[in-house]
C-alpha cells in the first residue's frame, strides 16, 4: 500500500511540478481546500505527538532528562530544519537532508539488526504472523492493526513524497538549459514552473526506482524487526509501554538489549521528526501560500503542531503516554483516506496529468524560459517585429497537443482497491467503537 501511494506521489510531483498541497490549491475549491488543509495539519500534529513522546522517553531513559525538558529539547531538530531547509530549494540542500536522515535511518537499522540477534523466535511463527487471521478483528486487534497501518503509511509523507521530486526536476531542466531559476527565492517563480518532458521521464524513473528499493529493503526490514522483537520479547505481557519494554528487555535479555532498543527509538524519533517538519512546511506553504517571511510562517505552524505534545506531557506525565502513542497512529489511519483520495483523483485525471508538446511531439521548454521568450516578443512587437515560440516560425494559433501521463487502468483499480480497503477497516473500527466493543484507548 505504501509503495503504490508513494509512486502516485512521485508521479504527481514529477508531471505537474507541484507537490500535493500545491495541486490541491490549484485544482480544488477554496472550501474543500480548507477542509483538506485542516485534516493535513491534524495528521502532522498526530505524527509530532508520537515522535516527540518517543524522543522524550528515550532521552529520559538514556540520560535521566525529565520528560517535559525532553519535549522542549526536541524543538532543536525543528529549528535546525527551519534554518536550513527550503521546500523550493535546490538539489544541494535536498541531498544534505537526505544524507542526514539516511544516517539516522541506518543507525536505526543497525540497532534493530542487533536486537534481532538478542531475542529468540521461531521463523515458522514469524511467517505465520504475517498471514491474515481472525485475531485482527478480535478485541483490540483491529485497533492495533490500524495503529500499525497509520505508522507505516503516514498521511504527511504523501505531501513530502510529491514535493521532494521538484528539486530534481528543476536541477535537470537547469542543466539542460530548459529553465532559468529566479535570482531570488520567489514562491511565484516556483509555482509557475512546469517541467519539460525529459525532466519528467528522468525524475520519475529515478524517484520510483529509489522509492521501491528503499521501501522493500530498509522500511520492510525495520517494520518486520520491530514486530518480531516485540512479539518475541513481550508476548503475554499486559499493559506494556515504552518504559516497560525497556525494562523487560533489560531484565529478560540483557542491559545491552534494552539500551539498543532505546537508541533505536531515539534515532527513529529524530529522523521522523525532521521528515515531519519538512512535510509541515510543504503543507502550510502549499495550501495557504502565506504572504509572510518563510521563517515566521514556519515557526507559526511548528508552534501549533508541538503545543499538544507539551500539554500532554504536563497533564499525564508517564501515565497515558502509551495510549496516546497508539491513539495518534490510529488517527493517522483514519485520516489516510481523506489525504489519499485527492492524490488518486489527480493522478487519474487526464487534464491534470498531461504535458504540453510542440507540433513535432517534442517537449516544449519549461515554463520559465517560455515566460522569458514572451517578454522578448512583447518588446520586439513594440519595435514592429515579431518572434514566434514555434521552431518553424509557424502561426502561433496552432492547436496545443498534450501527452497523457495519467494512471493506467490497472493502477487506477489498484489505487481504488487500496483506498477502499483502508476506508473499510476504519469504518469497521468506528462501528465497533459505537457498539461498545472492547478497543484500546
Q: Answer with the residue of higher pLDDT: 139 or 251.
A: 251
Where is 414: in which H helix or E strand?
A: helix 409-434
pLDDT value at 231 more than 90: no
Give the mean pLDDT of 211-233: 80
Cβ-based burial of 141 (10 A; exposed 0-12, middle 13-18, buried ≥19)? middle
Res 54: pLDDT: 83
| Residue 190 binned pLDDT confidence (cut-offs 50, 70, 90) | low
Give percent of the chain with pLDDT exceeding 90: 13
CA distance 274 to 71: 15
pLDDT value at 12 more than 50: yes
pLDDT value at 21 more than 60: yes
- pLDDT tens sequence across 198-218: 889 888 888 888 888 888 888
Prediction pTM value: 0.77
CA distance 166 to 91: 9
- pLDDT tens sequence across 316-355: 766 667 677 777 777 888 888 999 999 999 999 999 998 8
Give the mean pLDDT of 363-388: 44
On average, the pLDDT of the chain sits at 75
Contact 404, 351 (CB under 8 A): no
For cell 530544519, the residue is 81
Where is 419: in which H helix or E strand?
A: helix 409-434
CA distance 141 to 138: 5
Please provide the DSSP assignment of 45-88 as one string.
HHHHHHHHHHHHHHHHHHH---HHHHHHHTHHHHHHHHHH--TT
> How far from 212 is each of 10, 96, 216, 218, 271, CA to CA, in Å?
11, 21, 6, 10, 19
- pLDDT tens sequence across 34-81: 999 999 988 888 887 777 788 888 888 888 888 888 877 877 766 666
| Residue 419 binned pLDDT confidence (cut-offs 50, 70, 90) | very high
Q: Which H, E and C letters describe 309-343, residue by residue?
A: HHHHHHHHCCCCHHHHHHHHHHHHHHHHHHHHHHH
Task: Give the CA count within 13 Å in the CB-facing half-sphere of 282.
Answer: 32
Res 345: pLDDT: 95
> How far from 148 is each of 73, 116, 124, 137, 309, CA to CA, in Å?
27, 20, 22, 14, 20
Res 412: pLDDT: 93
pLDDT value at 163 more than 90: no
For the ranges 216-230, 359-373, 414-428, which has the lowest average pLDDT?
359-373
Q: Answer with the residue of higher pLDDT: 316 or 378.
A: 316
For the ranges 106-115, 125-134, 246-255, 302-311, which has the lowest average pLDDT?
302-311
Res 381: pLDDT: 43
Res 372: pLDDT: 41
Give the mean pLDDT of 379-400: 47
Res 312: pLDDT: 73
pLDDT value at 20 more than 90: yes
| Residue 266 binned pLDDT confidence (cut-offs 50, 70, 90) | confident
For the ranges 29-38, 69-78, 235-244, 360-369, which has the lowest average pLDDT?
360-369
Res 410: pLDDT: 94
Cβ-based burial of 138 (10 A; exposed 0-12, middle 13-18, buried ≥19)? exposed
How many C-beta atoms surround the C-beta of residue 139 within 10 A? 13
Map out the domains of the chain with their CATH numbers: 2-381+392-434 (1.20.1740)
Give the mean pLDDT of 229-240: 69
- pLDDT tens sequence across 270-309: 777 777 777 887 888 888 776 555 556 556 655 666 677 6
For the ranges 250-264, 348-362, 384-398, 406-420, which has the lowest average pLDDT?
384-398
How many C-beta atoms surround the C-beta of residue 171 within 10 A? 19
For the ranges 125-134, 163-172, 259-268, 275-284, which has the lowest average pLDDT?
125-134
Amino acid at each position: 500500500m505504501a509503495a503504490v501511494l508513494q509512486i502516485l506521489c512521485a508521479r504527481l510531483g514529477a508531471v505537474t511540478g507541484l507537490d500535493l498541497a500545491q495541486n490541491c490549491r490549484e485544482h480544488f475549491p477554496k472550501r474543500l481546500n480548507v477542509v483538506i488543509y485542516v485534516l493535513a495539519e491534524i495528521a502532522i500534529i498526530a505524527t509530532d505527538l508520537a515522535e516527540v513522546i518517543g524522543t522524550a522517553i528515550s532521552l529520559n531513559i538514556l540520560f535521566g532528562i525529565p520528560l517535559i525538558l525532553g519535549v522542549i529539547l526536541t524543538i532543536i531538530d525543528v529549528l535546525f530544519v527551519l534554518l536550513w531547509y527550503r521546500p523550493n530549494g535546490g538539489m544541494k540542500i535536498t541531498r544534505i537532508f537526505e544524507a542526514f536522515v539516511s544516517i539516522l535511518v541506518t543507525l536505526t537499522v543497525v540497532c534493530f539488526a542487533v536486537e534481532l540477534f538478542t531475542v529468540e523466535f521461531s521463523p515458522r511463527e514469524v511467517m505465520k504472523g504475517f498471514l491474515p487471521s481472525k485475531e485482527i478483528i478480535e478485541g483490540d486487534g483491529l485497533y492495533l492493526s490500524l495503529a500499525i497501518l497509520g505508522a507505516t503509511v503516514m498521511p504527511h509523507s504523501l505531501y513530502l513524497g510529491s514535493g521532494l521530486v521538484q528539486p530534481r526536476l528543476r536541477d535537470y531542466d537547469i542543466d539542460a538549459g530548459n529553465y532559468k531559476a529566479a535570482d531570488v527565492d520567489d514562491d511565484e517563480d516556483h509555482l509557475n514552473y512546469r517541467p519539460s518532458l525529459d525532466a519528467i521521464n528522468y525524475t520519475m524513473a529515478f524517484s520510483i526506482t529509489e522509492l521501491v528499493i528503499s521501501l522493500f529493503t530498509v522500511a520492510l526490514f525495520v517494520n518486520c524487526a520491530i514486530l518480531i522483537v516485540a512479539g518475541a520479547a513481550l508476548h503475554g505481557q499486559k499493559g506494556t509501554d515504552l518504559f516497560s519494554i525497556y525494562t523487560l528487555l533489560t531484565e529478560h535479555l540483557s542491559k545491552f538489549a534494552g539500551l539498543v532498543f532505546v537508541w533505536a527509538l531515539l534515532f527513529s524519533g529524530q529522523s521522523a521528526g525532521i521528515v515531519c517538519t519538512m512535510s509541515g512546511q510543504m503543507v502550510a506553504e502549499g495550501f495557504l501560500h502565506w504572504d509572510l517571511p518563510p521563517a515566521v510562517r514556519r515557526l507559526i505552524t511548528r508552534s501549533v503542531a508541538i503545543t499538544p505534545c507539551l500539554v500532554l506531557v504536563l497533564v499525564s506525565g508517564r501515565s497515558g503516554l502509551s495510549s496516546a502513542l497508539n491513539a495518534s497512529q490510529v488517527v493517522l489511519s483514519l485520516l489516510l483516506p481523506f489525504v489519499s483520495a485527492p492524490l488518486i483523483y489527480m493522478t487519474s485525471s487526464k487534464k491534470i496529468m498531461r504535458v504540453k508538446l510542440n507540433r513535432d511531439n517534442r517537449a516544449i521548454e519549461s515554463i520559465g524560459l517560455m515566460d522569458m521568450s514572451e517578454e522578448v516578443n512583447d518588446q520586439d512587437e513594440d519595435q514592429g517585429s515579431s518572434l514566434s515560440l514555434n521552431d518553424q516560425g509557424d502561426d502561433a494559433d496552432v492547436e496545443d497537443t498534450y501527452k497523457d501521463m495519467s494512471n493506467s487502468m490497472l493502477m487506477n483499480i489498484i489505487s481504488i482497491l487500496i483506498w477502499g480497503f483502508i476506508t473499510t477497516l476504519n469504518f469497521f473500527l468506528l462501528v465497533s467503537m459505537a457498539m461498545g466493543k472492547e478497543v484500546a484507548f
